[in-house]
Structure 1
Amino acid sequence: MRHLARPAAMVASFFDSLPPGQVATAMALHKAVLAAAPDIDQAVRWGSLMFLVRGSPLVTLLPHKGQAHLQFFQGALLVEQFPQLEGAGKGMRILKFRYSQSVDVDLVRRIIVAALQVPSVREQR
């Protein structure tokens, strides 16, 4: 019988697969998300690191060539409070971090805490 890979192993392999110039920023974002929500679940899906609340996605860490994105699934509900979130459409918004700049850990923490308070997410907790 085949066993599913453990989430911790999948997360470790996600970081191992990144180019060296992207690892520090991605790990800083990962650490900031976990500091804000220590009990959040993690999974690697579609080549990105996803943070989940009871199986539903809250935020995804997406590495790109020149920057890393935190993609908030209910971000449209947070734009008024956090104008740094970019994007259009019904729900998703993105927070961008250039690899050459430091991560604003406090901003990430505040957005994660606010995202966890969105009614549809709060009901799942």
Structure 2
Amino acid sequence: MRRPLQSPALINAFFDSLRPDQAETAQIIHRAILAAAPQLRPEVKWGNLCYLNENDNLLSVVLHKVNAHVQVFNGVMLVAEFPELEGAGKGMRHIKMRYRRPVDEQLIRELALASVQAWAQTQMRRQHAPRWGG
């Protein structure tokens, strides 16, 4: 089933709904992600700004009271390359940025690019995996 594309107005409304310090940090993160991976499609999901490659969630910006998290859905694949990633569990990892502090835009760009590359490797493995019963 195809999902309708979200309009830029919905993305703008997301930013407009934030406190000024949250909006500033979120916009810097947003620009850094799209600068590194312009093919990602931003959508508002679960009240957060998510970035999709094709129909797969890759990144999201989750805003909390005192900091913003950049969540990396395939972050477990990137922990060796990015020791800044935090979290436990099956796949997702995140980095935190406090409001009113400089955002490491270079780190965000590198993380976005690495996430896209890891996603592509996963897709290649799926295509070349043996099919059972076929």
TM-score normalised over the length of structure 2: 0.84
Aligned twin of 1:10: 10
Aligned twin of 1:75: 75
| Equivalent runs, 1:36-115 vs 2, <5 Å | 36-115=36-115
Work out the CA distance in 1 between the residues paired with 2:123 and 2:98.
28
Q: Which amino acid aligns with 1:85?
A: L
Count of residues in Structure 1 that have an aligned counterpart in Structure 2:
121
- Identity of aligned pairs, percent? 43
Give the 3-state SS of the residue equivalent to 1:70 in structure 2. strand
Contact 1:48 1:62 (8 Å CA) reproduced: yes
Q: Flag structure 2 segments of 5+ consecutive residues without an equivalent.
A: 127-134
Q: 2:122 aligns with which of 102, 120, 123?
A: 120
Aligned twin of 1:30: 30
Q: Flag structure 1 segments of 5+ consecutive residues without an equivalent.
A: none
Work out the CA distance in 2 between the residues paired with 1:57 and 1:64.
20
Give the 3-state SS of the residue equivalent to 1:117 in structure 2. helix
Q: Which amino acid aligns with 1:8?
A: P
Work out the CA distance in 2 between the residues paired with 1:123 and 1:7.
33
Going from structure 1 to structure 2, the CA distance change for 1:18 and 1:24 (only over 3 Å counts) comes to same
The runs of 4+ residues in structure 1 deviating greater than 3 Å are: 121-124
Q: Which amino acid aligns with 2:40?
A: I
Work out the CA distance in 2 between the residues paired with 1:67 and 1:61.
11
TM-score normalised over the length of structure 1: 0.90
Please tell me whether Structure 1 or Structure 2 has the larger radius of gyration of its CA atoms: 2
1:23-47, Cα deviation, whole Å (9 max, x unpaired):
1101000000000011211110110
- Say what the alpha-carbon RMSD is for the aligned residues: 1.8
Q: Which amino acid aligns with 2:27?
A: M
Going from structure 1 to structure 2, the CA distance change for 1:5 and 1:111 (only over 3 Å counts) comes to closer
Going from structure 1 to structure 2, the CA distance change for 1:30 and 1:122 (only over 3 Å counts) comes to farther
